[in-house]
Structure 1
Amino acid sequence: MFRYLIVGFCVGYVIAYPEGAPESACGNLSPQHGADVKPNPGYTIAYSQPNNGVYTVTLNAPRNTSFKGFIIQAFDSRDGKTTVGQFAAPNGPHSKLICNGAGVTHTERNPLTSVQLQWQGTPGTKVYFKATVVVKYDEIYGDIVSGEFTV
């Protein structure tokens, strides 16, 4: 009986979070898989000039690669810890709002080469976007950072 409990726990642990990062990942962007987060090998975050105050934010994989999971948030450049702004509810089937709208994560495990989101911040705030991506359960890349800009 004890063996079945251990196996059941391990299976649950291995398949955890296919529907996105947990709320506890907000702020530190850690998917909490128990694996080390590796340095960014070339993922990028781009943003467009605002259209009526709304920025288009795009998380891109390096050429010929993809990712299955992600979490992204905007941070105040003054302290690098305070999240700022709000994402709009995603239009696509592959992402959802978390962190009270201050972050977005994946909702399925299909490979993505990019994800495009809408974000709005407070005018006059200096911000940057930061993300973590999951390629495989134990292959995680963090410190994916956009350039700083003033809303």
Structure 2
Amino acid sequence: MAKFNKKKDGGLPPVNTAALPDIVFMLLFFFMVATVMRENTLKIANILPLANQVEKLDKKNPISYIYIGKPSDNYASKFGTEARIQLNDDFADVSEIVPFINQERAALREELVPFITVSLKVDKKSNMGIVGDVKQELRKANALKINYTTGTGDVSANAE
């Protein structure tokens, strides 16, 4: 006749971790969707002028941005109140534009280099002299495709 042994008390059962991968991937997906990737931190005041005939740039071609405007309140004490140039995340002089364009070209694939467009984001209260200087440097760098970024709206609002 068979003898039945009584099970001894084994303590607490192990924690069920079957749902753990689902929770991890759900959190990962949430943060991927909710996170905004910002390319540059603006250190200048950049209120764009308005235009009524605006054309959207094709995202297939590479775009390099040059920001021009007065330093924002956080940087006004260090850099003054005159219009400045910002390349990526740093203030720059006009003489630094040619190396910046060459660096942007070097980062691209060879077949995309002829299609690079330089987009100027100029504050509407900036002096046009600095824009002319930037355009002269872009000519020296042979960056001839220039775009002015504007907002959409009534042009008469620019006079204010």
Normalization by structure 1: what TM-score? 0.23
> Which structure has greater strand proportion?
1
